[in-house]
Structure 1
Amino acid sequence: MKRKHFGLLLVCLFGAAALASIRAEGAEKRVKGSGVAETDPRPVSDVRQVSVHGIGTLTVEIGTTESLTIEADDNILPYIQVKQNGAAWEIGPTRDASLEPQTPIHYRLRVTRLDALTLSGATKAELKPLPHVAEFDLSLSGATSAQFAEIDADTLKVNASGASRVEINAGSVKQQTIHLSGASRYRAFALRSETASIHGSGTSNVEITATRELNVDASGVTQVHYKGAPPVVKSDTSGVSSVKAAR
């Protein structure tokens, strides 16, 4: 019971810190949403990596063309910027504004492929099945969450901190490497992998499937539950961390 209360406290603290940071990072202007919803298309091309900060929900789907539309209050839309650096795109509020939306901010992105996703602040992402890539990189911090319908890759790398949440509902990878800290949670029983390496600290919680080899380095109150009956399981734990086969 103490472990659950401690984890809940960390989630609240990280969430409050993430929301505070949205307003503190050089914010000069407070913008309260009008309540009048509007949709704004923004031009994008050659998208391979996406980073979303601040607040809002990102929906990603795969298609033969690329597009981005933003749904928000009409007076908030001018304070949402989309910046390109090669194949990397950054989406979120301008750094000089503190947004208080009345209409939920929603980013709808269509791409032909995606190799990397970064979320920070109080953002979340919902991704439809992704096409095969050699490597997919996922990075989350703050009070963020990412839900994948399906991932297909040779290698999956995940770095999650704060009160981040990751859920993967289907797919397969040859290898996945997971780094979790804070009160992060990684739910991926449905993602089949041959080998998996987990580095967890704080009150992290991991659900994973590996069929050949599982390596775990865990500290704090980290809990790892695994499926796949891997013949090789190596674990180095400290604190009250645990590594257990799931029923």
Structure 2
Amino acid sequence: MKTKKIFLISALLLLSATLMACSFPIIRVVKGSGTLTTETRSINNFNAIQLDGAGQLVITQGDTVALQIEAEDNILPYLKSTVEGGTLVLGFQDHFWQKSLLPTETITYSLVVTDLNAITFNGAGDMDMNLLDTDTLSITVNGAAQAHITDLTADSLIIQINGTGNVNISGEVNSQILGIDGAGTIQNGDLKTSQTVLTSNGLGIATVWVTDSLEVTFNGGGTLNYFGEPAIIQNINGAANITHLGSK
């Protein structure tokens, strides 16, 4: 009888271990080889970009869309570049949680766009772009991403930072709506605007250039620096600091 019980317990333990192995697959670690390679990807038309995770995004505006990815040869196969509902989604493939991908070199996405209306960063990506002419542009930063655009021309601009991201834009737009939840930074002192609306919840820092109207709401201890002589509406709940930097 004792032998029978021991056999039964052993069988149950073996079954339990098997079930646990099925439920929790073994995580495979893929460390970057250090050998960079470049791949050209075929993509459909899009007007929005979503970058998931880390990586350097270099964008230019042209006549046809194009994408080149530079990454380590054993990391590149796990990078996605799919167009979903007009949005180009870049980053690790959706099932990468089964592996631990550890790049040792920067992943660079070199992208040509015909038009661009929205960019979303989920993580710590970086973006650089020169010369963008579009109707509207929306930038959302979820995390610690850095976005830099030189010479933007648009009717309207919307920026939302959730976290500690940094956005730096120059050029000219008619209106901009800025939101900071956290400790993000918006450096738009070289972006000429007629109207600007800023809402900061936390410790956000913003520098803007406004000619006509500036509406500011602070919930916390944020900072606003502004150029121009706009009419100002202030809603301050906290210890915010507003500094006039003069005219441009």
TM-score over 0.5 for the alignment? Answer: yes
Counterpart AA for 2:148: Q
CA contact (8 A) 1:155 1:176 kept: yes
**For 1:177 and 1:27, how far apart are their aligned partners in 2?**
46
Aligned to 2:162: 161
Q: What is the aligned partner in structure 2 of residue 150 from structure 1?
A: 151
The higher radius of gyration belongs to: 2
Paired position in structure 1 for 2:181 = 181
Question: Following TM superposition, by how much is the alpha carbon of 1:45 offset from its aligned partner in structure 2, in angstroms?
Answer: 2.6
Distance 1:29 1:173 in 2: 48
Does structure 2 retain, via aligned residues, the 8 Å contact 1:27–1:96? no
Instruction: Give yes or no for the alignment of 1:238 onto 2:237.
Output: yes
The 5 A counterparts of 1:127-138 are: 127-131=129-133, 133-138=134-139
Q: Secondary structure at the match of 2:197?
A: strand
Rounded Cα–Cα distance in structure 1 between residues aligned with 2:84 and 2:180: 27
> Does 1:227 pair with 2:227?
yes
Unaligned segments of structure 1, at least 5 residues: 1-25
For 2:210, the equivalent position in structure 1 comes to 210
Identity of aligned residues (%): 28
Letter matched to residue 89 of structure 2: E
Query: What do the CA deviations read for 1:170-197 (whole angstroms, capped 9, x no partner)?
Result: 2111110001111100000110000100
Q: Name the CA distance, whole Å, in 2 between partners of 1:82 and 1:28.
A: 24
Q: CA deviation at 1:27?
A: 11
Task: State how far apart, in whole Å, the 1-side matches of 2:69 and 2:27 are.
Answer: 23
Task: Give 1:81's aligned amino acid.
Answer: K
Q: CA deviation at 1:137?
A: 0.6
- Tell me the CA shift for residue 28 of structure 1: 4.4
Task: Give the number of aligned pairs.
Answer: 219
Quick one: which amino acid aligns to residue 134 of structure 1? D
Quickly say closer, same or farther: Cα 1:152–1:28, change in 2 above 3 A. Answer: farther
Deviation for aligned residue 1:246: 1.6
Summarize the Cα distance change of 1:28–1:115 in structure 2 as closer, same or farther, 3 Å threshold: farther
**Structure 2: any 5+ residue segments left out of the alignment?**
1-24
- Look up the SS of the partner of 2:131 in the other structure: coil
Q: Corresponding residue for 2:91?
A: 92
Q: Conserved in 1, the CA contact under 8 Å of 2:71 and 2:105?
A: yes
Q: Which amino acid aligns with 2:102?
A: E
**What is the alpha-carbon distance in structure 2 between the residues aligned to residue 175 and residue 119 of structure 1?**
22
Alignment of 1:1-247 (within 5 A): 28-97=27-96, 98-131=100-133, 133-168=134-169, 170-230=170-230, 232-247=231-246
- Tell me: higher relative CO, structure 1 or 2? Use CA pairs within 8 A at least 6 residues apart: 1
TM-score w.r.t. length of structure 2: 0.85
TM-score normalised by the chain length of structure 1: 0.85
CA distances 1:195-245 after superposition (whole Å, capped 9, x unpaired): 100000211000001100000001211001111111x10111122112221
**Cα distance between partner residues in 1 of 2:27 and 2:217:** 43
Q: Partner amino acid for 1:139? A: T
Change in CA separation of 1:101 and 1:45 when aligned onto 2, cut-off 3 Å = same
Cα distance per residue 1:105-156 (max 9 Å; x no partner): 000001111111111111111111101x221111001111100012111110
- Shift in CA distance, 229/29, structure 1 to aligned 2, threshold 3 Å: farther
Cα separation, partners in 2 of 1:27 and 1:118, compared to 1, 3 Å: farther
State the AA in 2 paired with 1:90.
Answer: V
SS in 1 for 2:220: coil
> Take 1:155 and 1:27, find their aligned partners in 2: how far apart are those partners?
48
CA distance in 1, matches of 2:209, 2:26: 43
